Amino acid sequence: MTKHLTTIDATTCGHACACGDASAEPLIGRRQFVAFGAVALAAAALAACSAGSDLTSPGTVSATSFKLSDFPTLGTVGGVTTTTVGGVPLAIVRTGTSSFSAFSRICPHQGSTINVTSSGFLCPNHGATFNASGQWVGGQRTSNLTSYPVAYDSAAGTLTVGS
């Protein structure tokens, strides 16, 4: 039997559908509606959980050289600067008179860009905190920041980040 939907007339069949047939059942029952809704919510939750995984930092970045003089904040031990290499936002930290560290500023939890603070780094979306060595120290549980190799050429006054 084929049903033709024409207009919504609750008086015809006793419910708010467009079946036009008083003996017709609704197109979907309450149990089916609840089951389909639960499946849709579960699918949306799984998609949200996996969405951040594509936003984590790459394991390596292409080797890029910088003149140390272009980053005055790196003139002293403990200084931090931010830059981008190959589209990856980085933080470079001067850890000693001739040593430096470089970290991705992409939070390993869900891919937010982290901010530099006076004591290290902070994810503005989830509250994860990291020390100046890129290690997770509090807030939203996650892993350490992705680090990249840094080579310092004191004679040329350059830093090379990545490999």
Tens digit of pLDDT at every position of the chain (163 positions): 555 544 544 455 555 555 555 555 667 777 777 766 666 665 554 444 433 334 577 888 899 999 999 999 999 999 999 999 988 999 999 999 999 999 999 999 888 999 999 999 999 998 999 999 999 999 989 999 999 999 999 999 999 999 8
Nearest Cα to 84, choosing from 98, 68, 72, 66?
66
* Cα–Cα dist 111/116, whole Å: 15
CATH number of 56-161: 2.102.10.10
Q: Which helix (H) or strand (E) holds 46?
A: helix 30-51
Domain range list for the chain: 10-54, 56-161
- As to burial, measured by CB atoms within 10 angstroms (0-12 exposed, 13-18 middle, 19+ buried), residue 145 is buried
